[in-house]
Structure 1
Amino acid sequence: FAGAGDGTPSLVQPKAPRALAGANPLQWTATNFQPAVPTANQKLTFILYIQNVSGKKTPKGNIALWSNLPAPAGCGMAGDSELRLPALDPMEFATLTASVPLGPADAGPTTVRMLVDSTCVVSMQSPELNQASFTAPSLSTLDTRSLAFVDGAPLDMAFWNGDEMRVARTDPKYPLGEPKFNYGVDTYSVIYAVQNSGSVPIADGLRLAVYAGKDVKPPPPCGDAGDGSVRLPQLKDGDIKDITVEGLKPPTAEEILKGQKTVTLTAYLDADCVLYKDPAKRPRSVSLFQPTPFDAPIMEGVRLKGDQAADRIKITYPRVALKVGGAFSKFTARFEIGNGASGAGRGAVGAVYVWVRPLDEDNIGGYYKGSPCNFKDWTAKASFPDVLIKDIPVPQVAGSYILSAVADGDCDSSPAQQSVVRNMAVTPTYTAFYVEP
Structure 2
Amino acid sequence: MSPATDTTTGTATGAGTNRPAGASQAVGDPLGTRLRRARPVVLALLLLTAVVLSTLCLRPQVSKVPLAIDNPTSTGTMALAELLRAQGVSVRSTSSWSDALTASQDGATLALVSPQSLSPDEREDLARAGGDVVVLSDLYQSLAGLTQATVTGASTSKDTVLEAGCQDPDALAAARLPGARGSVTATDTSGHQIPGATGCFPLGPSAGPSQHSYAYLTAPLPSGATLRVIADNQLVTNATLAQQGAAALAVRALGHHREVVWFDADYRDVTSLWDSPDLPRQLPVLVLLALAVLAALAGVRGRRMGRLVPDPLPVVVRSTETTLGRGHLYRRAHDHAHAAGVLRAGTLARLRPRLGLPRHCETALVAQAAARVTGLPEPYLDQLLAGPPPHDNQALTDLASQLDHLESEVHS
With normalisation by structure 2, the TM-score equals 0.16
Larger radius of gyration: 2
Higher helix share: 2
Higher strand share: 1
With normalisation by structure 1, the TM-score equals 0.15
